[in-house]
């Protein structure tokens, strides 16, 4: 409450100092959020909440935001979304993949409310989707992983076998193998986005298999803690996880939702909001690469940053042929680039990963 009061009063002071209350002070735009985890998870939900705070900082008293945290994916999400819609929120962000069907159901009942669903693929006139090209960041992490591993085994803790996660596994593996042809990838599915104890167990299982670099697509710092115990390295996921610098956390993928949230709320305020699918990456600043620490040799760091720049400039796409699928069938020919449709439905590993995707 204090922070909101502060933001409001700062905004009020700015309005006074401008001496011209340009916009008529009618009802503020009410914006709602549902989060899959607690705002204090230090990862995924934390980053979304930073985006929410950025909206308040940007638009001051023209907007009013609320959030409901730790909403389970499934039927309960429908209740939370309905509650937000009934409370007068006209723009609602649902920030997890599993909220997809609840969003579609509730959106059908509230045609005047606009919904934004993160990482999903179902849209309607009042449902837009947005996603980040995490796989671009994974390419950079994969490069570092391939160079840093001594056992030539890198581990990946997956959350759920959905396209977003599979893209990350493939992208990491492709780029690790590019710099180190000996690399093998071990994948463990935690079947949770946030379960510190289970993530720790998953990391221990990978370490026991001889893995010395761990990538994670789950949101807690538990895998980093386990990596540290075993002298292995890992990467921050969703947020920087800076407490584990300089090692085991040697770099990180940071989700920066603030620019997108500010843009969409702005569109609501000036009436230009339309349903669309947004998929932004490193170039737009939605996917950031956290500081690469000195635990990584300078030439590896340079190589990783060069790759990041190439991706940002559009010169290089992480899924560029020749690439085969894990079953040996051809996927992309030399120089061919994967389409967004192929990526958003990705349900196969690339050649070289020997595991199988649970169905």
Residue numbers at the binding site for another protein (CB under 8 A): 37-42, 70, 155, 186-192, 194-198, 200-202, 204-206, 208-209, 211, 220-222, 225-226, 228-229, 242-244, 354-356, 358
Q: Which residues pair with 128 in a beta bridge?
A: 116
Smallest distance, Å, CB 315 to another protein? 35
The nearest distance, CB 146 to another protein, in angstroms, is 19
Those residues with Cβ within 8 angstroms of residue 309's Cβ, 6 or more apart along the chain or in another chain: none
199-221 CB burial, b ≥16 within 10 A, e <16: bbbbbbebbeeebbbbbbbbbbb
Kindly tell me which of 81 and 227 has the beta carbon lying closer to another protein: 227
In sequence order, what DSSP letters do the residues of 143-184 get, joined into one string? HHHHHH-SSSEEEEEESSSSHHHHHHHHHHHHHHHHH-TT-E
Q: Is 33 left (phi over 0), alpha (psi -120 to 50) or beta?
A: beta
The rounded radius of gyration (Å) of the Cα atoms in the chain is 21
Specify the residue, 91 or 215, whose C-beta has the smaller distance to another protein.
215
Closer residue to another protein in complex, CB, 97/189: 189
Going by C-alpha positions, the residue among 198, 195, 144 that lies closest to residue 171 is: 144
Nearer to another protein, 195 or 342 (CB): 195
Query: Which segments of the chain are extended strands (E)?
Result: 29-34, 63-68, 91-94, 114-118, 127-132, 153-158, 184-189, 213-216, 233-236, 249-255, 277-280, 287-290, 323-324, 330-332
Q: Are 281 and 287 in contact (CB under 8 A)?
A: yes
**Residue number with CB closer to another protein (66 or 204):** 204
Nearest approach in angstroms of CB 350 to another protein is 16
Which is closer to another protein, CB of 51 or CB of 281? 51
Question: What whole-number distance in Å separates Cα of residue 215 and Cα of residue 231?
Answer: 15
Least distance (Å) between residue 186 CB and another protein: 5
Least distance CB 285 / another protein (angstroms): 22
| Minimum distance, C-beta of residue 259 to another protein, in the bound complex (Å) | 23
Please identify, using beta-carbon distances, which residue of 92 and 187 lies nearer to another protein.
187
CB of 123 to another protein, least distance (A): 30
């Amino acid at each position: 409450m204090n922070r909101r009061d502060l933001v409001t009063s700062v905004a009020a002071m700015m309005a006074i100092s401008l001496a011209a209350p340009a916009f008529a002070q009618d009802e503020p735009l009410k914006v709602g959020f549902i989060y899959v985890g607690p705002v204090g998870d230090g990862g995924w939900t934390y980053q979304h909440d930073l985006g929410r705070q950025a909206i308040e900082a940007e638009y001051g008293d023209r907007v009013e935001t609320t959030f409901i945290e730790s909403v389970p994916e499934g039927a309960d999400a429908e209740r939370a979304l309905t509650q937000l819609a009934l409370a007068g929120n006209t723009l609602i962000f649902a920030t997890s993949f599993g909220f997809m069907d609840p969003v579609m159901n509730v959106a059908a009942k509230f045609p005047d409310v606009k919904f934004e669903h993160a990482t999903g693929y179902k849209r309607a006139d009042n449902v837009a989707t947005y996603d980040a090209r995490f796989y671009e960041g994974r390419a950079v992490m994969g490069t570092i992983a391939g160079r840093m591993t001594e056992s030539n085994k890198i581990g990946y803790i997956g959350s759920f076998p959905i396209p977003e996660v599979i893209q990350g596994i493939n992208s990491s593996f492709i780029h690790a193998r590019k710099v180190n042809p000996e690399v093998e990838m071990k994948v463990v599915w935690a079947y949770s986005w946030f379960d510190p104890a289970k993530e720790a167990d998953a990391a221990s299982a990978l370490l026991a298999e001889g893995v010395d670099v761990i990538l994670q697509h789950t949101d807690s710092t538990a895998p980093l803690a386990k990596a540290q115990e075993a002298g292995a390295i890992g990467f921050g996921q969703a947020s920087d996880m800076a407490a584990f610098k300089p090692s085991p956390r040697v770099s990180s993928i940071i989700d920066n939702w603030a620019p997108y949230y500010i843009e969409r709320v702005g569109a609501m305020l000036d009436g230009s909001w339309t349903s669309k699918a947004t998929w932004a990456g490193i170039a737009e600043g939605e996917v950031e690469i956290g500081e690469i620490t000195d635990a990584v040799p300078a030439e590896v760091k340079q190589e990783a940053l060069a790759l990041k720049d190439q991706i940002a400039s559009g010169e290089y796409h992480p899924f560029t042929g020749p690439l085969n699928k894990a079953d040996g069938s051809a996927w992309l020919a030399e120089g061919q680039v994967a389409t967004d449709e192929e990526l958003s439905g990705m349900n196969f590993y690339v050649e070289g990963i020997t595991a199988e995707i649970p169905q």
